[in-house]
A = this chain, B = another copy of it.
Amino acid sequence: MDKIDLHSAVFATYAIAASLMILKAVAMSWLTVVRMIQVNGGFRSPEDIKKTPMNPQPNPSQLAPTDRVDRIRRIQLNDLENLPFFLVAGFLYVLTGPSLPWAQWLLYGYVASRLLHFAAYVTGQIHEVRATFWSIGSFILIFMTVRVLLAALGH
């Protein structure tokens, strides 16, 4: 069977993990929106304090930083530093022909590590907790990428 085919169990594993991570990344944007509405602030562009139907009583303080919004922005930046590379590394890793259990452990393990990282970060757990989950994901990403590199070098 072709390696790049949603009917392949290994590739479907990748596609599921990739879809979940993309939806997670998109959810951060929407969560930022939700929190900006909740605190009625945390905006970043000068034009966002113009009077409009959505912002009937604008105030310069709406442009001030606020941790409730900035926390989600930090989480999102962390996603940007990690997820795009996972999406490509996972795809190339599938091309190395891993067994299904290996693919599932690594790809779903990565998804789990990122969801736990989010849970730790959004609730303000101490750095050690969120660093642990981040590190697990990073090690999985490095492992898959080195595997691809070695396979490509030995072609």
Chain A contacts to B: CB under 8 angstroms: 4-9, 12-13, 15-16, 18-20, 22-23, 25-26, 28-30, 33, 43-48, 50, 52-55, 67, 71, 74, 76, 80-85, 87-89, 91-92, 95-96, 121, 124-128, 131, 138, 141-142, 145-146, 148-149, 151-153, 155
Contact = CB atoms under 8 A, between A and B. Distances in A.
A22 B89 contact: yes
Copy number in the complex reads: 3
The 7 A-B residue pairs with the shortest CB-CB distance, nearest first, are: A15-B152, A19-B149, A84-B84, A12-B155, A12-B152, A87-B88, A47-B124
B6 A151 contact: yes
A138 B12 contact: no
11 contacts: A15-B152, A16-B149, A19-B152, A22-B85, A22-B141, A26-B85, A29-B138, A33-B131, A46-B67, A50-B127, A84-B85
